[in-house]
Amino acid sequence: MSEAAYNFAYLDEQTKRMIRRAILKGLAVPGYQVPFASREMPMPYGWGTGGVQVSAAVLTPDDRFKVIDQGADDTTNAVSIRSFFERTAGVDTTTKTAEASVIQTRHRIPEEPLTEDQILVYQVPIPEPLRFLEPRESETRKMHSLEEYGLMHVKLYEDISRHGHIATSYAYPVKVEGRYVMDPSPIPKFDNPKLGDMAAIQLFGAGREQRIYALPPYTQVVSLDFEDHPFEASKADHACALCGAEHSYLDEVIVDDSGKRMFVCSDTDFCESRRAAGHVGEQAA
């Protein structure tokens, strides 16, 4: 089959319309999980089928597209989704955060602040923050609609009683505009403060679970916590070994068999542009 046989961005127009409707509803009710008729995509569940469908629905031929996976532009997931849209939509792609108009992400928010001209699309494995506490979907929906969120604190309570502090370090639950409790997808809690008051539109797509939710620009997002155990955005206590950044989220990389390790920025674009600007870390070659 020739590639021209694909509709722009793979999905047919009716499907994109249906997804756009879900996105609009999500934007109108921030943090609310909107059900949508998720399509079978040419990639396995767990590889970002939700994010890909949302991206397909928002992409226009003039867009410049960027994909990151755990902050990196060059990992399998990012490379394959980028080439997917290069082939099926023919849009320009980039690895530069500032140049992209649509950024699809798995498990990170770029370090560089986003602008009002950008859309950030998250891949979400499990959209329901209450899932592991209350397995019945009928019940969790009721809890959302009646704003019964005591259970979410039970999870944090369990963390403190077991570890002495809130040990949840990713997919840290947040409350949106004082109403819906939302799973921010498995981003590190270091990124949680960036969710709130962000200039860009944030869209969340969960393909297998058939849910879309969204945060419009400049939405209030608060991480849940206890009065005596306040929320803390944590990161590894090091500077990036390559670019020397003190305040970016770091990956720990094991470098040899004797357990030597280095800490590098997980956001590859951020790290590269810092190095290009002349910043040097301890182990920069």
Partner 1 sequence: MTPLLSVQGITKTYGAHIGCADVSFDLYPGEVMGIVGESGSGKSTLLNCMAGHLVPDAGQVVFDTRSDGPRDTVTMSEPERRMLGRTDWAFVHQHARDGLRMGVSAGGNVGERLMAVGDRHYGDIRDKATDWLERVEIHASRVDDRPTTFSGGMQQRLQIARNLVTGPRLVFMDEPTGGLDVSVQARLLDLLRGLVRDMGLSAIIVTHDLAVVRLLADRLMVMKSGHVVETGLTDQVLDDPQHAYSQLLVSSVLQV
In 10 A of CB 17, how many CB atoms? 12
Told to judge if 196 belongs to the known catalytic residues of this protein, a careful annotator would answer no
Note whether 227 binds partner 1 by CB under 8 A: yes
Q: Which is nearer to partner 1, 39 or 153 (CB)?
A: 153
- The amino acid present at 285, given as its one-letter code, is A
User: Which stretch, 24-32, 78-86, 158-166, 172-180, contacts partner 1 (CB under 8 A)?
Assistant: 158-166
Q: Is 232 left (phi over 0), alpha (psi -120 to 50) or beta?
A: beta
Note whether 126 binds partner 1 by CB under 8 A: no
Note whether 247 binds partner 1 by CB under 8 A: no
Note whether 150 binds partner 1 by CB under 8 A: yes
User: Which stretch, 93-101, 174-182, 221-229, 238-246, contacts partner 1 (CB under 8 A)?
Assistant: 221-229
Which residue among the candidates 26, 31, 50, 71 is catalytic per the annotation?
31
HEC per residue, the chain: CCHHHCECCECCHHHHHHHHHHHHHHHHCCCCCEECCCCCCCCCCCCCHHHHHHHHHHCCCCCEEEEEECCECCCHHHHHHHHHHHHHCCCEECCCCCCCCEEEEECCCCCCCCCCCCEEEEECCCCCCCCCCCCCHHHHHHHHHCCCCHHHHHHHHHHHHHHCCCCCCECCCEEECCCEEECCCCCEHHHHHHHCCCCCEEEEEECCCCEEEEECCCCCEEECCECCECCCCCCCCCCCCCCCCCCCCEEEEECCCCCCEEEEECCHHHHHHHHHCCCCCCCCC
Which member of 226, 236, 255, 280 binds partner 1 (CB under 8 A)?
226
Told to judge if 31 belongs to the known catalytic residues of this protein, a careful annotator would answer yes
Q: Which is nearer to partner 1, 126 or 133 (CB)?
A: 133
Told to judge if 26 belongs to the known catalytic residues of this protein, a careful annotator would answer no
Note whether 151 binds partner 1 by CB under 8 A: yes
How many residues at the interface with partner 1, by CB under 8 A?
Answer: 16
For residue 146, the minimal CB distance to partner 1 (Å) is 5
Rounded to the nearest 10°, the torsion over CA 191, 70, 113, 21 is -90
User: Which stretch, 3-11, 13-21, 147-155, 275-283, contacts partner 1 (CB under 8 A)?
Assistant: 147-155
Q: Which is nearer to partner 1, 117 or 139 (CB)?
A: 139
Note whether 161 binds partner 1 by CB under 8 A: yes
Told to judge if 51 belongs to the known catalytic residues of this protein, a careful annotator would answer no
Q: Which is nearer to partner 1, 161 or 258 (CB)?
A: 161
CA atoms within 13 A on the CB side of 224: 28
Which member of 112, 158, 177, 251 binds partner 1 (CB under 8 A)?
158
Note whether 146 binds partner 1 by CB under 8 A: yes
Q: Which is nearer to partner 1, 112 or 225 (CB)?
A: 225
Binding site for partner 1 (CB under 8 A): 133, 146, 148, 150-151, 153-154, 157-158, 160-162, 226-229
The residues carrying an active-site annotation are 31, 240, 243, 265, 271
